[in-house]
């Protein structure tokens, strides 16, 4: 287990009109940009003698300099091989002339509640520290850890700031998980900590060694929800279990395998699933191109299907367009929605319109933001990026109304240009 020190450059625009709401509204944040170096500290785990290291994305993500310090005080510069904000994992590489000490990965599916574990890390930057506890829970999801899609192992071993990216190991010294977050009211450990399971870490290491620069996450192409007591009663289940499919992309691999809305996924590869993050985790620990065995209920019958694992298709083309100068809406850049872009941005299946990818010029101060979904402009429906260009060129008016979605909620802006 190693200590990690990361530096990143943070740019901040200082407005000359700060404090004057009228001028800020008129001119926006047009001040000079100042840069400063932000330091972060955390922990990591060496997973191979040739210097493969795992840590958290929130420790090293966007870092311009990463320094790894071993217990014997040897220091190495590290480079990022693979990083993923959604999973909060990052794979690093350090170069050493000698073989490095490393930890074996344990099959995290075989971990049991009550097992003794050790949390090892660099709390508050004081140096490598070991704390002990037990496995308090498994398959934790939907908790306020900052990772809405997370799936975690819970432990009562004390985890504090600086422990992020460190090791949760069993009594045989095998890596059970990577410590990532806590639930706390005090800012420190209250005995409720969470670790990313080792089986997902193993997939990240495999993809990093294969040269992937982005984690290739299997695409489900569905919207699912946990079956609660009310839903269980409606479906005629004796106990609430599984994930019910409430919506599905027509190109979803689940649709290809014969599942449809209203079906209830009970297990993936023999492992029971009771929440969408748990189902996605079961998919993510398997390689793209393979198939998973899904057991599900359909019209009261228990069936099985082989679901192919694939990345979200990047079709139809995004066709990124920018409204040119000299016309209304100048500086607005939009892209067509497709399954891959929806998955990247967390946009619900079935959402129509185009997404704002960039804004420059006067529009930047008129309320629109990157990530907004545009559905209508001046009452004209927007389905493609070409629709935006057509409206901008055709409309002979200074008054504009833009309707769309932001964070799943409707918005409507009226402005003059």
Domain membership of residue 103 (yes or no) is no
Domain membership of residue 315 (yes or no) is no
- The confidence score (pLDDT) of residue 345 equals 86
Query: In terms of residue numbers, what domain contains 290?
Result: 222-308
Asked if omega into 316 is within 30° of 0 (cis), the reply is yes
What CATH number is associated with residue 89?
2.40.10.10
Domain membership of residue 314 (yes or no) is no
Domain membership of residue 300 (yes or no) is yes
**What is the number of structural domains in the chain?**
4
**DSSP H stretches of helix in 174-243:** 198-209, 229-235
Q: What is the DSSP string of 272-304?
A: E--SHHHHHHHHHTS-TT-EEEEEEEETTEEEE
Q: Do 114 and 203 reside in the same domain of the chain?
A: yes
What CATH number is associated with residue 397?
2.30.42.60
Q: Do 304 and 325 reside in the same domain of the chain?
A: no
Domain membership of residue 59 (yes or no) is yes
Q: Do 172 and 228 reside in the same domain of the chain?
A: no
Boundary of a domain, candidates 46, 63, 94? 94
Give the Cα separation of 242 and 265 in Å (integer): 5
Q: Do 62 and 117 reside in the same domain of the chain?
A: no
Q: Do 179 and 254 reside in the same domain of the chain?
A: no
Give the active site residue among 164, 226, 267, 284: 164
Element of type H or E holding 413:
strand 409-416
119 bridge partner residues:
131, 168
Domain membership of residue 365 (yes or no) is yes
Q: Do 76 and 28 reside in the same domain of the chain?
A: yes
What CATH number is associated with residue 257?
2.30.42.10
Tell me the whole-structure pTM to 2 decimals: 0.83
The model's pLDDT over 246-273, given as tens digits with 9 standing for 90+, comes to 999 989 999 999 999 999 999 999 999 9
Helix (H, G, I), strand (E, B) or coil at 227: coil
- The confidence score (pLDDT) of residue 57 equals 94
Q: Residue 96 has what DSSP assignment? A: -
Q: How many residues does the chain have?
A: 417
- The confidence score (pLDDT) of residue 327 equals 76
Q: Do 116 and 80 reside in the same domain of the chain?
A: no
- The confidence score (pLDDT) of residue 13 equals 59
Q: Judge contact between 201 and 215, C-beta under 8 A.
A: no
Whether 88 is catalytic: yes
Q: Do 169 and 238 reside in the same domain of the chain?
A: no
- CA dist list (Å): 53 to 103, 171, 180: 10, 21, 15
Give the Cα separation of 371 and 367 in Å (integer): 12
Whether 40 is catalytic: no
The low-confidence residues of the chain, meaning pLDDT below 50, are 148
Give the active site residue among 87, 88, 252, 263: 88
Q: Do 347 and 391 reside in the same domain of the chain?
A: yes
* Angle in degrees, 0-180, between the axes of helices 276-284 and 198-209, rounded to the nearest 10: 40
Boundary of a domain, candidates 209, 243, 276? 209
- The confidence score (pLDDT) of residue 148 equals 46
Q: Do 195 and 266 reside in the same domain of the chain?
A: no
Q: Judge contact between 233 and 143, C-beta under 8 A.
A: no
Domain membership of residue 52 (yes or no) is yes
Burial class of residue 372 (count of CB atoms within 10 Å of its CB; 0-12, 13-18, 19+): buried
Q: Do 87 and 39 reside in the same domain of the chain?
A: yes
- CA dist list (Å): 392 to 305, 331, 367, 384: 48, 11, 17, 13
Give the Cα separation of 246 and 99 in Å (integer): 51
Give the Cα separation of 308 and 159 in Å (integer): 38
Boundary of a domain, candidates 209, 232, 248? 209
Domain membership of residue 99 (yes or no) is no
φ, ψ of residue 287 in degrees (nearest 5):
-70, 150
Give the active site residue among 58, 156, 249, 252: 58
Q: Do 263 and 332 reside in the same domain of the chain?
A: no
The dihedral through the CA atoms of 256, 261, 262, 267 has a sign that is: positive
């Amino acid at each position: 287990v190693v200590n990690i020190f990361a530096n990143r450059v943070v740019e901040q625009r200082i407005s000359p009109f700060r404090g004057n709401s009228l001028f800020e509204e008129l001119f926006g944040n047009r001040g000079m940009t100042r840069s400063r170096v932000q330091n972060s500290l955390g922990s990591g785990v060496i997973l191979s003698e040739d210097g493969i290291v795992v840590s958290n994305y929130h420790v090293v993500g966007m870092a311009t300099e990463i320094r790894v310090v071993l217990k014997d005080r040897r220091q190495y510069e590290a480079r990022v091989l693979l990083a993923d904000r959604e999973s909060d994992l990052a794979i690093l590489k350090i170069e050493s002339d000698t073989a490095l000490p490393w930890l074996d990965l344990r099959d995290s599916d075989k971990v049991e509640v009550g097992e003794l574990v050790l949390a090892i890390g660099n709390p508050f930057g004081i140096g490598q520290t070991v704390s002990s506890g037990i496995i308090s829970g498994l398959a934790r999801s939907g908790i306020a850890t900052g990772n809405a899609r997370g799936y975690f192992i819970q432990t009562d071993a004390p985890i504090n700031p600086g422990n992020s990216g460190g090791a949760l190991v069993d009594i045989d010294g095998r890596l059970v998980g990577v410590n990532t977050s806590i639930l706390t009211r005090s800012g420190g450990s209250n005995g409720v900590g969470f670790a990313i399971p080792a089986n997902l870490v193993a997939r990240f290491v495999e993809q990093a060694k294969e040269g992937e620069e982005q984690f290739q996450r299997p695409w489900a192409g569905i919207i699912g929800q946990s079956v609660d007591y009310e839903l269980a009663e409606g479906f005629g289940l004796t106990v609430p279990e599984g994930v019910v499919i409430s919506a599905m992309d027509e190109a979803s691999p689940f649709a290809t395998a014969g599942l449809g809305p209203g079906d209830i996924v009970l297990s993936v590869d023999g492992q029971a699933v009771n929440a969408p993050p748990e189902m996605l985790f079961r998919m993510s620990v398997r390689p793209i191109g393979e198939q998973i065995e899904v057991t599900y209920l359909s019209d009261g019958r228990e069936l099985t299907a082989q679901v192919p694992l694939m990345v979200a298709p990047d079709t139809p083309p995004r066709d990124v367009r920018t409204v040119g100068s000299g016309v209304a809406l100048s500086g607005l850049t939009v892209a067509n929605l497709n399954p891959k872009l929806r998955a990247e941005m967390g946009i619900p299946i079935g959402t129509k319109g185009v997404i704002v990818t960039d804004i420059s010029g006067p529009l930047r101060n008129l309320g629109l933001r990157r990530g907004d979904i545009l559905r209508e402009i001046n009452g004209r429906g927007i389905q493609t990026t070409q629709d935006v260009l057509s409206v901008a060129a055709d409309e002979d008016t200074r008054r504009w109304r833009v309707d769309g979605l932001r964070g799943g909620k409707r918005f409507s802006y009226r402005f003059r240009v």
